[in-house]
Amino acid sequence: MFHCLHFAALPLCTATLVGNLGAIPTRCTAIPLSELARRSESVASYEESGNVGRLQGKNLQVKCRHNSACYCLNGVNIYGQCPVSGSAGHLRVSEQDWHRVLVPLLSPPPIAPIRCVCIDPGHGGSDPGSRVASLGLEEKKLTLDIARRLQTLLEMRGIRCILTRKTDEFIPLKNRSMAANHNNCDLFVSIHFNAADNISAEGIETYILPCQGMPSTSRLQNVSGKDREFFPNNRCDEQNLYLGYCLQKELHRIPMTKDRGLRRGRFVVLESTQCPAALVECGFLTAKGEGQRIVNERYRQEIAQALCDGICAYGSIASRN
């Protein structure tokens, strides 16, 4: 059984971070970049305009931008909840984002060894997902294709895999997380592809469940009813963040892919999963260049390899715990 911790119960002071990290405040309070530099033993600096700030430490590079909730951490885009505030040359990061986004990534949480992964090929049967007829692309077929490739790669590394579907069949969303729970899986990864009316929309994004009280990335600061609920998967908040970061980091390494970032979304397949879980959107079928690349089998193998590498990078932390 995976050892999950409730976010609030996690010790925030760790070996790699110094100073008084404090408790997460209930209201959005902002901390100067210079104070975060002190807490993380790094150096704060600004680009000429003063609207882009950086923290630079031994193993740490954070870039943030005024009025944006997207942080670039060691080259990976990660969305927080509150846009960076303050004035040019005096940026301030919200205490929530510091604790919920940056601290868990700067100091990896306790992670159990990965023995069994639940791979969830999105859609299936009467639910085809997105389609681009001109390229012959159908999301339900592509997700199963990636899932099978990923299964082969993980099994070569000695990791057992459970697939929520092995054929073109309809599986209710709740049954997908139940498959992970009933088989005591150590990780759950749901595979999808994106589509948009705007053909210039492209890139890869990874989703994890928002923390309790945190809205989905698309709504940023507007907290609504469901945002206040605690879901079983919230026990894995810190592990989810680290898993999402590892997956997005490896997916972004694929040549020509745009990093759309690690985001938060209350997807049904994530809510009830008892192990760390992420949902990956492996590209836009509707994007001119990306759609063409997805048609190519070798490109899909690269996606599967990146997912395998991300899972193994996440699992490698277990041996260091």
Q: Quick one: 98 or 284, whose CB is closer to Zn ion?
A: 284
Q: Quick one: 120 or 309, whose CB is closer to Zn ion?
A: 120
The tokens for 317 are 């932390």
Please report whether residue 129 would count as binding Zn ion according to CB under 5 A: yes
Write the burial class of residue 133 (CB in 10 Å: 0-12 exposed, 13-18 middle, 19+ buried).
Answer: exposed
Q: How far is the CB of 129 from Zn ion (least distance, A)?
A: 4
Q: Which of residues 16-75 bind Zn ion (CB under 5 A)?
A: none
> For Zn ion, which stretch binds (CB under 5 A), given 38-46, 100-108, 119-127, 207-215?
119-127
CA distance 62 to 121: 33
CA distance 166 to 294: 21
Q: Quick one: 113 or 128, whose CB is closer to Zn ion?
A: 128
> For Zn ion, which stretch binds (CB under 5 A), given 114-122, 205-213, 220-228, 306-314?
114-122
> For Zn ion, which stretch binds (CB under 5 A), given 103-111, 173-181, 189-197, 305-313?
189-197
Cβ atoms 191, 280 nearer than 8 A = yes
Sheet holding 85-87, edge to edge: 30-32, 90-94, 85-87
Q: Quick one: 186 or 281, whose CB is closer to Zn ion?
A: 281
Please report whether residue 122 would count as binding Zn ion according to CB under 5 A: yes
> For Zn ion, which stretch binds (CB under 5 A), given 91-99, 128-136, 157-165, 243-251?
128-136
Q: Quick one: 62 or 146, whose CB is closer to Zn ion?
A: 146
Q: Quick one: 114 or 191, whose CB is closer to Zn ion?
A: 191
CA distance 68 to 47: 15
Nearest residue relative to Zn ion (C-beta): 192
Q: How far is the CB of 196 from Zn ion (least distance, A)?
A: 12
Cβ atoms 55, 42 nearer than 8 A = yes
**How many residues at the interface with Zn ion, by CB under 5 A?**
3
Please report whether residue 192 would count as binding Zn ion according to CB under 5 A: yes
DSSP 159-208: -EEEES-SSS----HHHHHHHHHHTT-SEEEEEEEE--SSTT---EEEEE
Contacting positions for Zn ion (CB under 5 A):
122, 129, 192
